[in-house]
Amino acid sequence: MCGIAGVLHRSGDKLDPDVLVRMTRSLVHRGPDGEGYFLNGPRPGSWLEAGDAVSVRACIEGGRGDVGLGHRRLSIIDLSTGQQPLANEDGTVWVTFNGEIYNFHSLVAELEAKGHRFRTRSDTEVIVHAWEEWGQEAVKRFRGMFAFALWDERQQKLWIARDRVGKKPLYYLLDEDRLVFASEIKAILEMPGVSRDLDLEALSDYLSLLYIPSPKTIFRSIRKLPAAHQLVVSRDRTELSAYWDLPFMETHTASAERMIEELLGRLEEATKLRMISDVPLGAFLSGGVDSSAVVAMMARASAQPVRTNSISFSVRKYDEIEYARQVAKLYGTDHHEFHVTPEAVRAIEKLAWHYDEPFADSSAVPTYYVSQTARQRVTVALSGDGGDENFAGYRRYAFDLRENFVRGLVPAFLRRPVFRALGRLYPKADYLPQVFRGKAFLSNLARDPVDAYFFSVSAFDDNEKQRVLGADVARQLGDYRTADLFRDVYQRAPARDHLSRIQYLDIKTYLCEDILTKVDRAAMAVSLEVRCPLLDHVFMEYAAGIPSELKLSGSAGKRIFKQALKKHLPDDILYRPKMGFGVPVPEWLRGDLKNYARELVLEGDATRRYLSRPSVERLWREHASGLRNRATELWVIMMLNLWHRRFVEG
Q: What is the pLDDT of residues 120-143, one digit of tens each?
A: 888 999 999 999 999 999 999 999
Q: How confident is the model at residue 96 (pLDDT cuts 50, 70, 90)?
A: very high
Lowest mean pLDDT among 136-150, 370-384, 428-442, 481-495: 428-442
The whole-number pLDDT of residue 387 equals 96
Q: Model pTM? A: 0.93
Examine the pLDDT at 54 and tell me if it is beyond 60.
no
Q: Are 443 and 423 in contact (CB under 8 A)?
A: yes
| 481, part of any domain | no
Lowest mean pLDDT among 231-235, 240-244, 435-439: 435-439
CA distances from 77 to 3, 206, 529, 573 (A): 15, 37, 12, 34
- Among candidate residues 2, 59, 512, 532, the one labeled active-site is 2
> What is the C-alpha to C-alpha distance for residues 364 and 341, in angstroms, rounded to an integer?
14
86 forms beta bridges with 95
Q: Residue 97 belongs to what domain range?
A: 2-242
Say how many CA atoms lie within 13 Å of 364 toward its Cβ.
Answer: 30
> What is the C-alpha to C-alpha distance for residues 235 and 631, in angstroms, rounded to an integer?
49
The CATH code of the domain that includes 162 is: 3.60.20.10
What pLDDT digit, counting tens, does each position of 326-338 carry? 999 999 999 999 8
Q: How confident is the model at residue 79 (pLDDT cuts 50, 70, 90)?
A: low
Give mean pLDDT, residues 38-49: 60
Q: Are 227 and 178 in contact (CB under 8 A)?
A: no
CA distances from 598 to 569, 588, 616, 620, 627 (A): 44, 12, 10, 8, 17
Give mean pLDDT, residues 485-512: 96
| 46, part of any domain | yes
Q: Is 2 a catalytic residue?
A: yes
Q: How confident is the model at residue 47 (pLDDT cuts 50, 70, 90)?
A: very low
**Residue type, position 344, single letter:** A
| 113, part of any domain | yes
Examine the pLDDT at 6 and tell me if it is beyond 80.
yes
Lowest mean pLDDT among 32-41, 50-59, 634-643: 50-59
> What is the C-alpha to C-alpha distance for residues 307 and 373, in angstroms, rounded to an integer?
11
Examine the pLDDT at 481 and tell me if it is beyond 50.
yes
Q: How confident is the model at residue 250 (pLDDT cuts 50, 70, 90)?
A: confident
The whole-number pLDDT of residue 121 equals 87
| 607, part of any domain | no
Q: Does the CA dihedral 25-29-35-41 come out positive or negative?
A: negative
Q: Are 101 and 406 in contact (CB under 8 A)?
A: no
| 289, part of any domain | no
Q: How confident is the model at residue 592 (pLDDT cuts 50, 70, 90)?
A: confident
Phi and psi at residue 356, in whole multiples of 5°? 70, -25
Which residue from 309, 304, 246 is spatially nearest to 275, judged by alpha carbons? 304
> What is the C-alpha to C-alpha distance for residues 414 and 390, in angstroms, rounded to an integer?
35
> What is the C-alpha to C-alpha distance for residues 208 and 203, in angstroms, rounded to an integer?
9
Query: With b meaning 16 or more CB within 10 Å and e meaning fewer, what string describes 30-67?
Result: bbebbbbbbbbbeebbbbbeebeeeebbbbbeeebbbb
Longest dimension (CA), the chain: 76
Q: Are 8 and 159 in contact (CB under 8 A)?
A: no
Share of the chain above pLDDT 90, in %: 72
Element (H, E) at 20: helix 17-25
> What is the C-alpha to C-alpha distance for residues 501 and 392, in angstroms, rounded to an integer?
11
Ranges of H-type helices in 274-320 = 289-301
Which residue from 285, 309, 272 is spatially nearest to 539, judged by alpha carbons? 272
How many residues can be counted in the chain? 650
| 162, part of any domain | yes
Phi and psi at residue 25, in whole multiples of 5°? -75, -15
Neighbours of 120 (CB within 10 A): 15
Q: Are 116 and 129 in contact (CB under 8 A)?
A: yes
Examine the pLDDT at 46 and tell me if it is beyond 50.
no
> What is the C-alpha to C-alpha distance for residues 320 and 307, in angstroms, rounded to an integer?
18
Q: How confident is the model at residue 405 (pLDDT cuts 50, 70, 90)?
A: confident
Sheet with 529-531, side-by-side order of all strands: 334-340, 307-313, 281-284, 380-382, 529-531
What pLDDT digit, counting tens, does each position of 416-460 carry? 766 666 666 555 545 444 444 555 777 777 788 999 999 999 999
Our measurement of the distance from residue 193's CA atom to the centroid of its chain's CA atoms, rounded to an integer in Å, reads 28
| 11, part of any domain | yes
Name the DSSP class of 189.
T
> What is the C-alpha to C-alpha distance for residues 373 and 66, in angstroms, rounded to an integer?
42
Which residue from 317, 365, 324 is spatially nearest to 343, judged by alpha carbons? 365
Q: Does the CA dihedral 386-392-398-404 come out positive or negative?
A: positive
At 349 the three-state DSSP class reads helix
537 forms beta bridges with none
| 225, part of any domain | yes
Lowest mean pLDDT among 10-14, 164-168, 240-244, 368-372: 10-14
Q: How do beta strands 144-152 and 171-174 pair? A: unpaired
Number of structural domains the chain divides into: 1
Task: Report whether the peptide linkage leading into residue 215 is cis, meaning its omega lies within 30 degrees of zero.
Answer: yes
